Chain A
Amino acid sequence: MTQEQTEAINTGQTESRNRALWRALGPPVIGAVIGFVIGALLILMAGANVQEAYTAMLRGAFGGSRQITETVLKAAPLLLVGLGLTVAFRARVWNIGGEGQFFVGALIGAVIALNFPDWPRPLLLSIMLLGGVVGGMLWAMLAGVMKIKWGVSEIISTLMFNYIAILLVQYMARGPLQEPGGYLPQSAQFVPEARLPLLFDSRIHAGVILAVILVAVVYGLLWATPLGFRLRMVGSRSSVARYAGVSVEKSILFVMAFSGGLIGLAGIIEVSTQLTRLKGDISGGFGFAGILVALLGRMHPLGVAIASILFAALIIGSESMHVVSGLPNSLADAIQAVIVLSVLAVDALARRRQK
């Protein structure tokens, strides 16, 4: 090889390394900038001060330990849902029934909390968490079975199961589980034994730690075990996985169970810590937002962790933007949505162009 050719190869390589970094970080950053610019236009149209509004947003999410705590508490359920969906999406199983699995997990956990208030705390908490996991798991596996047996698209079935689960919880909160003598659609408050312990003298609870541990668990599952390898094979091309002796059906069931389980866990943790009772509306859309978190995090556990924090910050921040700078709540929500949408859109465009 000539000197020239070797040089061409060398420069070529550094070039491509820089390019790889740019490819990973560039599009989401550009997307976010575009989103914030559009958001600024919306703020101007509403007659508010852009700088003030965005400062309020930043302060609201990260301005102090109380704000950071709020952000972390919002991030935890998003992270759990995002991690569960990461595993499913890696196998190209499109579980978009997170909301329903979240509700069912919460419901089963709540039934246990309400019926066995005098169990010792470690037992009660473990059974509650287990109940939440199993609830979400079975709810998701139902869609998995329908896909395997009858070829029903999991996108449709999981979406439909969302409505069933949400309405079921609303009925329970208004009916059988309603607080005796109460008027609101909610259950009695859980006994203190049914609430996860708080840590570091703050509102941070054990569920947050659990979620962080699960980042490592999911990472290990996907890249350090033969099971994860096979799931990724199914996601990469199921015809090849089948050729190589992987049972695509079992893989579908597994990822449905795994994602449903994590999301059910998120559900029971949320009612056990934040709400301390079952309500008609418990989620605030975690099951849907988790889909975005998983995608924004590029279906990588660390990426999902970062995405869940940023997403939570956006939610908390836009609330305080509404409170401080007097923007209407709906506009704050719209800005939030515009930012997420721009990030996803630029990211998708960039990917398409790479192909």
Chain B
Amino acid sequence: MLTKTNEPVVQMRGIVKRFPGVVANARVDFDLQPGEIHTILGENGAGKTTLMKILYGLHAADEGEIRLRGKPVSFTSARDAIAQGMGMVHQHFMLVNPFSVADNIILGQPSSRKPLMDDPKLIHQRIRTLSEQYGLIVDPEVEVGKLSVGQQQRVEILKTLYRGAEILILDEPTAVLTPQEVADLLPILHRLTEEGKSIVFISHKLDEVLKVSERITVLRDGEVVGVTPASDVNKADLARMMVGRDVILKVAKEPAQPKEARLQLTDVWVDSDRGLPALRGLNIEVRAGEILGIAGVAGNGQSELEETIAGLRKVKSGQITICDHDTTRSTPRDVGRFGLAHVPSDRYKMGLLPDFSVAENMFLQRIGESPFTQRGVLDWKAIHQQAQGLINAFNVRGATVNTPAASLSGGNAQKMILARELDRKPQVLIAAQPTRGLDVSAIEYVHSQLVEQRDAGLAILLISTELDEILALSDRIAVMYEGEIMGIVDAADADIDDIGLMMTGSKPTNGQTRGTL
């Protein structure tokens, strides 16, 4: 147990920070004890990053005071904060890709033998020592651009340690990591605190927060909702504090009532951008009133599958039908006419136009149709009216019809896309990574919408690399590996171990074989 009598290394009192139109921090108090991992939990836009940028000297607070090891401080730049033993790993990495790991780490550091650089061998040695001490294994001589995201993050952490950081701020470090990389990171954090470092950990993922932190401060709309030891709360408590009401972490749903087949892929072969086979003889069928989940590790043909059905990728052989129309060679426009709607996995590359208004984004496909266009001329009044209706119906928060889509948070941007796609009254919906990067309340909303639409008779193809999501929503689960379906199971009697095995490429010792033997 921690010695609470210890003087906190960081004390923030009554911090207020206003931005035009928002109060990002409204009288926030925050303490960090020596050697603890203290999580700041909150939905997107709650003010977590702002609070930490104030601590790190990147923003000036409008009100409030900060004490470091008991002494009042006022940083005017990150340089001051670094000099006082702080280090921050930002949500978006600040690395120079063509430079080596070592170069990135010493960048901006004064050399001890000016005007020459420090001896590279010495630097490499120091970095290796640090690496080993904390289990942050990475080769100092390799180019940063060649590293995986998880390794780049290690470089960021090493960078702060190299500068002598005692207090580490990690802003959503797991948002960019794969589940395996997350599993690797958490023990490293414990190792750091064992060595006497104190860590501020920012996240909105409940599982890892409960796993890693000593204490949790929950922020909502810029205010502290509560501070609690992690051992005193569970996921539901945290979700309620974060969102301000009870949150359904797993949607309730009745068994599906599937009807006629609406989307069929028969022996479909497709090449990737690099000309290698990405889909190898795929067969799937999605029926009205069911959710077919495609499980699989990212990069096994999911994005090609999505694009192929949407008419964005050329089919080499095989056949696709949507509501009895052969769409094997159809354009995106035609598949839309035949009843396909598509929530794309890459929201920003496909799903929305950041510099267009919310109203404009709502009708990208139907802009030329009535009532949006009358006698060849756009009817802005109708466009705004209809858009406002969708904003209300789908509770797209922070949006007026004129707001540029770029300023929506991830969750609200996704609601906007979902509103647009469902308002087209589709027969078939592709939902690809529909909750990637969203916080709990947005995930809850998207999931409940999908189930509701299924119950209303929509045929839904859910493509997700989050196995939890697949298990929570699907009626049947198809596991994809290297462009092939390894097996299709009913969600009701799905065996997670079997699915896991299929995801890594083994064919199931499937039910039939077992049954007949």
* Interface residues, chain A, with chain B CB atoms under 8 Å away: 5, 8-9, 12-13, 15-16, 223-226, 229-230, 232-233, 236-237, 239-240, 242-247
Cβ contact of B373, chosen from A226, A239, A247, cutoff 8 A: A226
Besides A225-B378, A236-B355, A247-B331, 11 more A-B contacts (Cβ < 8 Å) are: A8-B18, A8-B22, A9-B22, A224-B377, A225-B373, A226-B376, A229-B367, A233-B364, A239-B349, A240-B351, A243-B332
Smallest Cβ distance from A79 to chain B, in angstroms? 24
Cβ contact of A243, chosen from B18, B22, B312, B355, cutoff 8 A: B312
Contacts A226-B378, A237-B349 given; does A244 touch B364 at CB 8 Å: yes
CA distance A229 to B342 in the complex (A): 21
CA distance A9 to B21 in the complex (A): 4
Is the Cβ of B23 less than 8 Å from the Cβ of A243? no
- B172 interface hit (Cβ, 8 Å): no
Cβ contact of B336, chosen from A224, A226, A230, A245, cutoff 8 A: A245
8 A Cβ contacts from B13-32 to A? 18-23, 26
On chain B, the residues within 8 Å of A13 by CB distance are: 20-21
Residue contacts A-B, CB under 8 angstroms, 23 given: A5-B23, A8-B18, A8-B23, A12-B19, A12-B20, A12-B21, A223-B378, A224-B378, A226-B367, A226-B373, A226-B376, A229-B367, A233-B356, A240-B351, A240-B364, A243-B332, A243-B344, A243-B351, A245-B331, A245-B365, A246-B333, A247-B331, A247-B333
CA distance A16 to B21 in the complex (A): 9
Smallest Cβ distance from B340 to chain A, in angstroms? 11
CA distance A16 to B331 in the complex (A): 43
CA distance A229 to B377 in the complex (A): 11
Closest residue of B by beta carbon distance from A244: B364
Cβ contact of A225, chosen from B332, B336, B354, B376, cutoff 8 A: B376
- B105 interface hit (Cβ, 8 Å): no
Contacts A226-B367, A243-B332 given; does A236 touch B353 at CB 8 Å: yes
Is the Cβ of B342 less than 8 Å from the Cβ of A243? yes
Smallest Cβ distance from A243 to chain B, in angstroms? 4
Contacts A239-B350, A242-B332 given; does A226 touch B368 at CB 8 Å: yes
Closest residue of A by beta carbon distance from B364: A244
Is the Cβ of B332 less than 8 Å from the Cβ of A233? no
Is the Cβ of B312 less than 8 Å from the Cβ of A242? yes
- B352 interface hit (Cβ, 8 Å): yes
Closest residue of A by beta carbon distance from B420: A244
Smallest Cβ distance from A35 to chain B, in angstroms? 29
Cβ contact of B378, chosen from A229, A233, A239, cutoff 8 A: A229
On chain B, the residues within 8 Å of A243 by CB distance are: 310, 312, 332, 342, 344, 350-351
Interface majority SS on A: helix, strand, loop or mixed?
Answer: helix
Smallest Cβ distance from A345 to chain B, in angstroms? 23
Smallest Cβ distance from A103 to chain B, in angstroms? 34
CA distance A355 to B300 in the complex (A): 35
On chain A, the residues within 8 Å of B332 by CB distance are: 242-245
- Provide the B342-362 mask, 1 if CB < 8 A to any CB of A, else 0: 101000011111111000100
Contacts A9-B22, A224-B377 given; does A229 touch B344 at CB 8 Å: no
On chain A, the residues within 8 Å of B353 by CB distance are: 233, 236-237, 240
Q: How many A-B residue pairs have CB under 8 A?
A: 76
Closest residue of A by beta carbon distance from B350: A243
Closest residue of B by beta carbon distance from A6: B23
Closest residue of A by beta carbon distance from B62: A8
On chain B, the residues within 8 Å of A229 by CB distance are: 360, 367-368, 378
CA distance A9 to B349 in the complex (A): 32
On chain B, the residues within 8 Å of A236 by CB distance are: 353-356
On chain A, the residues within 8 Å of B23 by CB distance are: 5, 8-9
Closest residue of B by beta carbon distance from A9: B21
CA distance A230 to B373 in the complex (A): 13
Is the Cβ of B367 less than 8 Å from the Cβ of A230? yes
Closest residue of B by beta carbon distance from A227: B368
Smallest Cβ distance from A22 to chain B, in angstroms? 13
Is the Cβ of B352 less than 8 Å from the Cβ of A240? yes
Closest residue of A by beta carbon distance from B377: A224
On chain A, the residues within 8 Å of B344 by CB distance are: 243
On chain A, the residues within 8 Å of B336 by CB distance are: 245
Is the Cβ of A15 less than 8 Å from the Cβ of B20? yes
Cβ contact of B365, chosen from A8, A16, A225, A244, cutoff 8 A: A244
CA distance A247 to B311 in the complex (A): 12
CA distance A245 to B364 in the complex (A): 9
CA distance A5 to B23 in the complex (A): 7
CA distance A205 to B470 in the complex (A): 69
Closest residue of B by beta carbon distance from A245: B333
Is the Cβ of A12 less than 8 Å from the Cβ of B18? yes
CA distance A8 to B377 in the complex (A): 40
Is the Cβ of B373 less than 8 Å from the Cβ of A240? no
Smallest Cβ distance from B397 to chain A, in angstroms? 15
CA distance A15 to B21 in the complex (A): 10
On chain A, the residues within 8 Å of B21 by CB distance are: 9, 12-13, 16
On chain A, the residues within 8 Å of B19 by CB distance are: 12
Closest residue of B by beta carbon distance from A2: B26
CA distance A5 to B223 in the complex (A): 12
Is the Cβ of B22 less than 8 Å from the Cβ of A12? yes
Smallest Cβ distance from B164 to chain A, in angstroms? 33
Closest residue of B by beta carbon distance from A239: B349
On chain B, the residues within 8 Å of A246 by CB distance are: 333
8 A Cβ contacts from B351-393 to A? 351-356, 360, 364-365, 367-368, 372-373, 376-378
CA distance A12 to B378 in the complex (A): 33
On chain A, the residues within 8 Å of B376 by CB distance are: 225-226
On chain A, the residues within 8 Å of B372 by CB distance are: 226
On chain B, the residues within 8 Å of A232 by CB distance are: 356
On chain B, the residues within 8 Å of A240 by CB distance are: 349-353, 364
CA distance A243 to B348 in the complex (A): 12
On chain B, the residues within 8 Å of A8 by CB distance are: 18, 22-23
Q: Which 6 A-B pairs have the closest CB atoms?
A: A245-B333, A226-B368, A12-B20, A244-B364, A243-B350, A12-B21
CA distance A230 to B378 in the complex (A): 12
CA distance A224 to B22 in the complex (A): 34
On chain A, the residues within 8 Å of B373 by CB distance are: 225-226
Smallest Cβ distance from B241 to chain A, in angstroms? 20
CA distance A326 to B223 in the complex (A): 69
CA distance A350 to B393 in the complex (A): 39
8 A Cβ contacts from B444-460 to A? none
On chain B, the residues within 8 Å of A239 by CB distance are: 349-350
Smallest Cβ distance from A14 to chain B, in angstroms? 9
Closest residue of B by beta carbon distance from A17: B20
On chain A, the residues within 8 Å of B22 by CB distance are: 8-9, 12
CA distance A226 to B373 in the complex (A): 7
CA distance A220 to B367 in the complex (A): 15
Smallest Cβ distance from B463 to chain A, in angstroms? 15
Closest residue of A by beta carbon distance from B310: A243
Closest residue of A by beta carbon distance from B222: A5
Smallest Cβ distance from A231 to chain B, in angstroms? 12
CA distance A246 to B356 in the complex (A): 16
On chain A, the residues within 8 Å of B20 by CB distance are: 12-13, 15-16
